[in-house]
Amino acid sequence: MMNDEFWESIANDTEPVISLQKEREKTWEAQKVYRAESRKKSAQRKKEKQKKLEERKKREELLLKEQEEADLVQSGSKAGGTSLSVKKGRWKTVKFGRYPQRKNLLTGKYMEEEVTWNILGQTEHEVLLISRRILDARPFDGDFHGCDWEYSDLRMWLNEEFIHKIFSEEERQKLRYSRITTGDGVETIDRVFLPSSKEMMCKEYGFPDHDQSSKERIAKCTDYAKKQGCLRYNHRSPYWLRNSGSTTQTAMNVGTSGYVYHLMEENVTSHSMGIRPMIRISQP
């Protein structure tokens, strides 16, 4: 009898452990299924995105060609435009587009205001601009596809949703198509794009030709960008660059001190990096 009681007590003691192990196994299996489904959905989304971008690229190649031909007719020469004019010291600015920026303390709403852009350079046909402030904050890519500007969620958002939110139809007519290269050398055609590390170290644009701390690269974010998740430190904020980092899941950025970060990159899914877009517009 005593022996039976002993083995019964052992069974009672181990039953919760066995039950817990079974629950863990169920959880592991459920996680495996979830990860497999997530990978499948991610691959499908990427496939759909690639198809959409390929269609857009064909259309934009034609529009860019029309733009270049119009430039040749306007200049009367196949040599193209003049070189970029160098700006010394503080940049000249231009107002273009409207976007939520300051918070109204009485209503709590964010006021749409004219956007100020720094003029980085110009040719006889166009003016190159970068927003003076960081206007928004979003992940570079929310689906762990890696830092690939060509297929990034941020590129699609800037050239589809953002472009209609910030610019009127008349202003969009003035936006020019730009042929730009990504961090891995792939060429894209965009009307709105992120700056590259090379552009942020370009003396012709008014930036120092090194990656160290620099007041010229420092930017502040708007109240709206902060509300969207942009990090703010001593009234300064970091912002995305379109270059890939040292791993496939990170992208380069400019830090709060104006440092161009090559190694201390940010994960592509981060919400804390600001967006400081660049555009080209037709000469007035």
The pLDDT-based confidence of 48 (bands split at 50, 70, 90) is confident
Q: What mean pLDDT value characterizes the chain?
A: 83
- Residue 80, pLDDT score: 40
Is pLDDT above 90 for 129? yes
- Residue 79, pLDDT score: 42
Is pLDDT above 70 for 63? yes
Is pLDDT above 50 for 86? no
Supply the DSSP symbol for 247.
S
Is pLDDT above 60 for 279? yes
Please identify which residue in the block is written with the tokens 């303390």: 105
- Residue 83, pLDDT score: 38
The pLDDT-based confidence of 198 (bands split at 50, 70, 90) is very high
Is pLDDT above 60 for 134? yes
- Residue 18, pLDDT score: 64
Q: Do residues 101 and 111 lie in contact, with contact meaning Cβ atoms separated by under 8 Å?
A: yes
The pLDDT-based confidence of 67 (bands split at 50, 70, 90) is confident
Strand partners, 130: 118, 278
Is pLDDT above 60 for 87? no
Q: Where are the beta strands (DSSP E) in the chain?
A: 93-103, 110-122, 126-131, 136-137, 178-181, 187-190, 192-193, 239-244, 250-254, 260-267, 274-275, 278-282
Q: Do residues 241 and 162 lie in contact, with contact meaning Cβ atoms separated by under 8 Å?
A: no
Query: Which range scores top for mean pLDDT: 211-215, 268-272, 275-279?
Result: 275-279
Is pLDDT above 80 for 259? yes
Average pLDDT over every residue of 83-99: 72
